[in-house]
Amino acid sequence: MVYYEPNLTLKRGYVNFVFTRVRGIFLLKMNVEVRISDTSKGKGLYATKKINNGSIIFEEDPIVSCQFSWNSTYQYRACDHCLKPLETAQENATRLTGHYMDLPYSECCMTDKSKIVSCVMCGVEYCSTECRADAYNIYHRILCLQTTERNNVHPLEQLNEAWKQVHYPPETSSIMLIVRLLARIIQSSNRDAVIEQTLQFCHRTVNEDEELAHNLLGEKFASQISLLYNLLTNAIPHDGIEQFLTPAGFQGLLALIGTNGQGVGTSAISQWVTKTSDLTLTGEEREVLDKFIDSLYDQMDEHSGNFLNNEGVALYSLQSTCNHSCVPNAEPTFLHNNHRLSLVAIKDIEEGEEIFISYLDECTLDRSRHSRRKELMKNYLFACKCPKCEEQAEEPDVTSEEEDENMSD
C-alpha cells in the first residue's frame, strides 16, 4: 500500500482528455483492459494502445473511502466522503505552523467554505450537498442511524477508539473502511451484486487471510483482532452480511483492506501552491513567492513534522487490478484534491504491455532486493520477480540495514 501527496509536478493539460464514465471509472477510450496476467497468478491491467509518459491512463472514484482515524483526531478537516480539504489554505498553514500565517494571493485557495454542509443527524461535515447525498445514499444512512448520539460510548465510536490504540501513526489503513464497505452492502438494492464486487478483492486461503490480518496490526497488537471483531459485530446490523461477520470473514476483510487499500492524500496548501504557479508574476515577485513557500514548508515541517496532509484510505475497483513492480511504469496520484484517483504513466507504455504500480514507498524501493522482497512477502505474500529483482538475484540476501552496518565496518 502506497501513499501519495497531491502531485505538484505533473505537466498541465493532461486532464483535458475525453473520458468515458463506467461505474465511477473514467477511462480514456480503449486505453486499458483487465485480463489474466503474464507475470502473476491472477489478473493484470494491460494497455490496449500506446500510452505516453505523463498521460493519464484512467481516473476512478473509489468504492468506499474514509479519513484515517488519528488524522481526524489531530484536526485535519476533510470532507467525510471524498476527503476534500475543508480548511482554507491560510487556516491550514496557520494550524500546521502553529502561528498565524497571512498567505498572499488568497484567490489561489480553492476551498469554498460556503458549500460546506453537515449531516443534520450526526454532524459530520461534507464539502458539498452532492457529497452529503452520495454518502447518505451509499453507506451513511445506516451508519448515521447508528450514531445519532455521539457520546463516546456508542459501539462505532468504541470500535474506532480501539482501532486507534492498535494502529498508531503513521497510519496505513482504517477499520472504518470495513464499516463503510459493509454498510454499502446493507444499503444496496442489489446486495448480491455488491457482495460479488466485494468478494473480487478476496481471493486468498483462510490461513493467508489470518497471516495478512496479523501483519496489518503488527506482532504487538495481533492479539487484539478478536476484540476488534467483537466490537464490529456489535456496531453494525447483520442484515445480508452474515458471511463477513464470522471470525474468518473478519480476518478476510482485514486482509482485504491491508492488501488493496490505497492511501489518499489531499491538501489545501498543496493546491494553493499549485495554483500560484499559474500566476503571471515578474521575476522579482516570483522569487519572493518561492522564498515564502520554502519558508512556509520549513515552518510546517518543524511544527507538524512530515504529516501535513489530510490522509485516508480508499478501495478502488480498477486500480486494484494493477500488479506490483519495483520498476513501475505508472503511479496513482490525486490531481483533483479529493479521493478521485488518477493513474498516470511515468514511462512510455507500449500496446499490449502490462501496467505496473509499486506497492512499496519510494524509500523502500531504493533498498536492497532482499529488503524489498521481504516487505512484499510479509504484507502481500508473494516473491517479486520484476526485472529489477531478477537483475539483482545474485546480490547477497541481507537487509539494507545489514548492508549499512557492513559498509561502516
259-288 mean pLDDT: 97
38-52, 134-148, 203-217: segment of lowest average pLDDT: 134-148
Backbone φ, ψ for residue 81 (5° rounding): -105, -55
Specify the CATH number for 14-60+321-391; select among 2.170.270.10, 2.40.128.130, 2.40.50.140, 3.90.550.10: 2.170.270.10
pLDDT band at residue 52, thresholds of 50, 70 and 90?
Answer: very high
Dist CA 289 CA 276 (whole Å):
9
Per-residue model confidence (pLDDT) at position 59: 94
Residues 84, 90, 96, CA angle at the centre, nearest 5°?
A: 80
- Quick: pLDDT tens for 163-198: 999 999 999 999 999 999 999 999 999 999 999 999
CB atoms closer than 10 angstroms to residue 302: 11
Q: List where CATH 2.170.270.10 sits in the chain.
A: 14-60+321-391
Asked if pLDDT for residue 10 goes beyond 70, the answer is no
Dist CA 93 CA 10 (whole Å):
23
| Residue of 116 and 38 predicted with greater confidence | 116
- Quick: pLDDT tens for 193-238: 999 999 988 778 999 999 999 999 988 898 999 999 999 999 999 9
